[in-house]
Amino acid sequence: VCPRVPPSAPTPDVQAPPPPRRILHVDCDAFFVQVARLADPLGAGRTPLLIVGGSPSGRGVVTSASYEARAYGVRSAMPTGQALRLCPGATVVSVPREAVASRSRAVREALQSLAPVVEAASVDEFYLDITGTERLFRGEPLDGTADRIRRAVLEQTSVSTSVGGGSNRLIAKLATSRAKPAGAFIVPPGDERAFMRTVPLADIPGIGPALLGTLTAKGLRTVDDALAVEPDWMARWLGAGRADWLLCRLEGRGDDEVDPDRARKSISSERTFTRDETDDERLDTHLLILAESVGRTLRAQALRARTVSVKIRDHDFSTRQRAHSLPEAIESDRAVHGVARSLLADLRAARRVPVRLLGIALGAFEPSGSPRQLTLFEDPTGTTESERERELSRAVDKLRARFGPEAVALARVAHRSQAPPPSTLHAPPSDDSEDS
């Protein structure tokens, strides 16, 4: 095809490998704690022992704990009750969702003004690819860049971050844990393998409790232990795919692509009840609230979804899920709720016990502007939506934007009366007169 080198130039026997990429990982320090303090400087801001998460009386867990509280053994995902037993003096505040979202956006915008390629990996984590900026940054070493970025983000957003750097995402992310809190740590190119030998197996992203258990059962405690295993044995223990994946990680090799506009693949909303729910009618009301929630997000992103799935967690914590893919993508609350209802009916029919959690997820997206296929025949499932139903949902979105969450109650009444009962779910929707 197209030669990489002009024909006149001597062709090298072996192509020179591309220069290592320069990846930075920026992680906000105890982000939810920082945000809670910034949002309430006189309250949470003055409390050293601070826990952000669910209420201790409810069924909450710790989302984030201050470094002072962590000294007592408090950890993320720990039940709040347990955390308070470990650290009785702590104050628990709920997650400031709006503030978290806006502060996260502010950090991302600050980073975008400092680096050419920024990917948000979560609300409080970002990858930067600054390969090729050597001339722009006048030969500034990577640790200097990391420090400069930390200071600029702190100045522009009041959020303290830690920054790790290396030749790929894995190394950069692991370097960040060496940098915490409020520091920077760079692994120079070529040092990846030596660096990995200092990392505990459990700290490697992708090694969770299950895989760690398997490795420990084989007597493997460190990266060196695992590297010493014959690849054939590892493949026999884990399967070829996972063995390859693990070897790659252990050697510090990894993905180095930073994609600034990675597309969302699912939108979900779920709710754990304060008390287990047995009543089918109340479950259906919750289902409608969830359908409206995911529907609103879907439309705000200008998407339509082809797949709807419903998840329930029974009182004994066993979790089950049912999914259905439609021939046509949908976007209205009515259509989402309709599919979700029949899935929930399936789940309840299979096991009728008190429900702890209910959730809806949407997937298989299409842009909402994409052309629709004209249906030649009457839709036998009743799941396709009419243009009026789409308009109704969009109108409700606008009402909510103007008048706040109060408008939601209005929509719910209208929906309850128009939604078909479960037994007639497969009949087409009655007609279009209900939105009057």
Partner DNA sequence: TCTGGGGTCCTAGGACCC
Measured from the CB atom, the residue of 161 and 293 that comes closer to DNA is 293
- From candidates 178, 218, 221, 306, binder to DNA by CB under 7 A: 306
Among the listed residues 125, 292, 331, 385, the single catalytic one is: 125
CB of 57 to DNA, least distance (A): 10
* Order of strands across the sheet that contains 23-28: 117-122, 125-129, 23-28, 161-166, 184-186
Residue 234 CB neighbour total at 10 angstroms: 22
Q: What is the C-alpha to C-alpha distance for residues 80 and 51, in angstroms, rounded to an integer? A: 8
Point out which span in 126-134, 184-192, 198-206, 227-235 binds DNA (CB under 7 A).
Answer: 198-206
How far is the C-alpha of 98 from the C-alpha of 32, rounded, in Å? 11
Provide DSSP, 123-167.
TTEEEEE-TT-TTTTTT--HHHHHHHHHHHHHHHH---EEEEEES
Indicate whether 142 belongs to the interface with DNA (CB under 7 A): no
- Asked if 54 is part of the footprint of DNA (rule: CB under 7 A), the reply reads yes
Return the residue of 38, 117, 154, 212 that touches DNA, per CB under 7 A: 212
User: For DNA, which is the closer residue by CB, 353 or 395?
Assistant: 353
Give 281's contacts (C-beta < 8 A, 6+ positions apart).
Answer: none
The whole-angstrom separation of Cα 208 and Cα 166 is 23
* Active-site residue flag, 192: no
Count of residues engaged in binding DNA, rule: CB under 7 A: 57
**Residue 61 in the binding site for DNA (CB under 7 A):** yes
Binds DNA (CB under 7 A): choice among 2, 16, 77, 376: 77
| CB burial readout 88-127, b (16+ within 10 A) else e | eebbbbebbeeebeebbeebbebbeebbebbbbeebbbbb
Residues 6+ apart with CB under 8 A from 150: 26, 160, 161, 162, 163, 182, 183, 184
By CB under 7 A, which span of 41-49, 110-118, 358-366, 412-420 interacts with DNA?
Answer: 358-366
- If binding is defined by CB under 7 A, does position 76 make contact with DNA? yes
197 touches DNA (CB under 7 A): no
Q: Which string of x and - marks every residue 171-190 that binds DNA (by CB under 7 A)? A: --x-----------------
Confirm or reject binding of residue 368 to DNA (CB under 7 A): no
CA distances from 286 to 95, 273, 310, 325, 393 (A): 21, 10, 12, 22, 18
Q: Could you tell me the smallest distance in angstroms from the CB atom of residue 422 to DNA?
A: 17
Cis amide linkage into residue 181, ω under 30° from 0:
yes
Binding piece for DNA, criterion CB under 7 A, among 16-24, 57-65, 143-151, 418-426: 57-65
Q: Which of residues 270-289 bind DNA (CB under 7 A)?
A: 270-272
**Whose Cβ is closer to DNA: residue 18's or residue 371's?**
371
Judged by CB under 7 A, does residue 398 bind DNA? Answer: no
The stretch among 74-82, 150-158, 226-234, 392-400 that binds DNA (CB under 7 A) is 74-82
Closer CB to DNA, residue 91 or residue 309? 309
Residue type, 11: T
Residue 264 Cβ vs DNA, minimum distance, rounded to whole Å: 5
| 345 contacts DNA (rule: CB under 7 A) | no
User: Which pair of structure tokens corresponds to residue 229?
Assistant: 């295993």
For the chain, the maximum distance between any two Cα atoms, rounded to a whole number of angstroms, is 80
367 lines the binding site for DNA (CB under 7 A): no
Among 357, 392, 396, 411, binds DNA (CB under 7 A): 357
Nearest to 347, CA basis, from 382, 318, 307: 318
Choose which of 4, 135, 138, 265 interacts with DNA (CB under 7 A): 265
> How near is the Cβ of 122 to DNA at its closest, in Å?
4
Q: Taking CB under 7 A as the rule, does residue 75 contact DNA?
A: no
Give CA–CA dist 388/120, Å, rounded: 36
CA distance 18 to 67: 41
* Residue 293 to residue 336: CA distance in whole angstroms: 10
Residues annotated as part of the active site: 125
Contact set with DNA (CB under 7 A): 54, 59-61, 63, 76-77, 79, 81-82, 85, 121-125, 173, 204-212, 239, 241-242, 264-272, 293, 297, 306-307, 309, 316-317, 319-325, 356-357, 359, 361, 364
